[in-house]
Every structure is written in structure tokens, then in C-alpha cells.
Amino acid sequence: MFLPGSKAFLSRQGSPNLFNEIVTLLLAAIFRIVRRLDRRDLPAADVSRVRRVLVFSTTAIGDTLMNTPAIRALRKALPAARITAVVDRRRADLLRHNPHVDHLIVYPGKFRRILSLVRELRAVRPDWAIVLHGNDPDIPLLAYLSGARGRAGWRESRMSFLFTYTPKTDPSLPFVRKRLALLEGLGVFPDGERTDLYLPPPEGGPAERLGLFDHDWSSGVVAIHPFGSRRSKWWPAESVRSLVDRLWREMGLRSVILGGEKERAEAETLAEGAEAGPVIACGKTSLLETAVLLRRSRALVTTDSGPMHLGFALGVPTVALFGPEDFRDYGVGGDEERIAFLMGETSCARPCKKKTCDIEGHPCMASIGVEMVLEAVRDRIASPAVVPE
């Protein structure tokens, strides 16, 4: 968690402005008085009285998907309740077809459309508001203003005084288990740790539009996502180019390069130097279309990024390349038949949260060799994928 007010957040952002601290303290004092007078607060573990639940999941692709085990647990514990998910506008499709979610409310961004958003939240008339993950400072406030009688969130949040239930985060727990631990205090218990992504029927379209099957690629394709949220997470272009060629020469597998519009130029430059001529899908597919491509791929080679979490949720054989981060934080290890985690060598402490790496060439990613990746792909393809129903 990197909620405002947490030590992790402050270490990334620097010391908070004194004025902001004073305002926060004043708000905390005011709301504590208001809460003492407010008799509506619902006891944390009174599951029997819960009919309507708001779940806040307003951050990145990986966070949204890592929240799905918690949402599934809520559905199992509250089969008759109406579950409404508040989700970032760019990630809404990840939950749009999830059968455990009854309704979506799109979060437009920090302090945007706040009055109309509060009206929409209050119309739900929630018994519980649960913040599974939300970095923006208005999320705890929105949970409070929703009118929910029970409000769960993290104690590390600067706005934790707005919650009625605030467990202390165990930093040793992987991200998925942290969300599940939050629910356990509410009397909701895990229904497994598998992440979910449900695709709408039919699944066809993007592969044909991109020409992935215009040629005799009977052996199939491997999806490659070499990019990341910052440069220190990228796998070097020369390594990607070598992998593309060896997948074709040694295994008869073509490659499709995934990424956003901003990575397209670099992907096209990479493709020019590859003998096998990968298909460039960067910026040409929506989030769900990317998921469709992954589902039709023999395997996925990816950095620590959104597509990695898509692969996990879809049961795609995945080779995940980690440099500055530690894969153990994700809690999806142990599935050696389907997922391989490869960690580069580094003398730096993990996880590294620096936005800009101080070491030229990002050796923690560059040290992941093509032979290691190729062998991991061979092993994953030889094992059957486990695709959720």
C-alpha cells in the first residue's frame, strides 16, 4: 500500500507540507467529534446486516486484478448482497463482466466531478464501504460521504480517521493476501487467491485485425511485453530481438509485441532489427482486446506490468521478468507449471522504488538472459494452461 500518510508514501514524495499536515489534523479532530455523535456506524463484523457493499478499487491494472479474490470472497460471504465496485475509468473493463460485481461506478480521477460522484455513491445506500486499494486522497473521504455505516480501510492512510475499521498492514504479506486480511476482520473469509478476469463473448476480433493469423503460424504466437511503468523495469531491446528470432528459428513461434501508444516507436525500431518480423500491437488494442490476444497466445513473456497480471488472471503460461521489484510481493508464486519468475542479478535492495535508476543500463533487467527466458517458455508451453471458467 502507498496511501497518503503512510511511511512508504512519504519516503517517495518527500516531507509533507506543514500546512497540509495542520489541515489534516484539524479535519481529523472535527471528524472524530462528528463520529462520536453519529450513531449509524455499523460494527465491523456484523455480516448479517449487510445488504449493499461499495468496493473501492481505483488504481492500476495489477491492483484492480489483485482485488478480484477479495471481491469473490465478498460474493461468497454475501450471496444476496448488491456489490458495487468503484473503479478507475481506465480499468473499468476489467470488472465490467465480473459476475461477482452487480454494478460499476466509474471513478473519474482525483477530486473530479466530486459532487456528482458523491450523489451516485449515496444512491447505492451502502451498508459497507471497503477501500481495497486507492491512492488518491479523496478515496477515504468518498467512502465516508457515501453514507456507509461501516467503512474499512488501512490504518496507514492519513485519512484513516474516516474509517470505522482499520487493521494494521502486515508488510510481509503479499498484496493479494493484504486485501483478504482486511476482509477477514469483517467476518469475510478467503475463497482462494486466484485473480479473475472475465471476457465478454465473443472473443474474436483483434488477432484477425492485426493479421496475426494471415500466415502459416500453425505453431502459434508468443506475446511479449518488454516495457514497464518506468525504464528500470524494461527488458533490453537487444534481448527482446534475440528472443523473437530464437522463438521463430527454434520453436516455430511468431511473436507479437504488446504495449501502449507511447511505446510503439520503440517497438517498431526493435522489429526492424529482428529477422522473424514480430507483429506490433502497441497502441492498437484496447485493454480487453489485449486480454483476448493473450488468451490466444501460447505463452506470455512480460516484465512486472499490467499485462503480467492479465496473463495471471487468464491462466496464460507466463514468464515474468523482475528487476527492481520482488515477485514474492505478488503472492502468485508456487504455480511452477504455469508461471515462471525470473529475477535479474543486482546488488541493490529490493524492492527499489526509484523512478530513475542511478546505474546505467539497468543491470538488474539486463542480467536476465535470453537463454533463461527461452528455456522457461519451453517449460511453460509443455505444461497445460489452467484457464478459469
Q: What is the pLDDT of residues 126-176, one digit of tens each?
A: 999 999 987 778 899 999 999 998 999 988 877 888 888 888 778 888 999
Q: At what angle do helices 237-251 and 370-382 cross, to 10 degrees?
A: 40
pLDDT digits (tens, 9 = 90+) for 318-368: 999 999 888 888 866 556 679 999 998 877 777 877 777 777 767 889 999
pLDDT at 90 over 90: yes
Are the CB atoms for 293 and 199 separated by under 8 Å? no
pLDDT, tens digit, 9 for 90 and up, residues 187-213: 999 999 999 999 887 655 666 666 655
Domains and CATH numbers, the chain: 7-184 (3.40.50.2000), 206-382 (3.40.50.2000)
CA 194 to CA 68: how far, in whole Å?
A: 8
Helix (H, G, I), strand (E, B) or coil at 223: strand
Q: Cα torsion for 180, 301, 307, 190, to the nearest 10°?
A: -10
- The whole-chain average pLDDT of the chain stands at 84
pLDDT (tens digit per residue) in 257-280? 999 999 999 999 988 888 888 999
Q: In DSSP terms, which residues pair with 341 in a beta bridge? A: 320
The DSSP annotation for 38-55 comes to: -TTPPPTT-GGG--EEEE
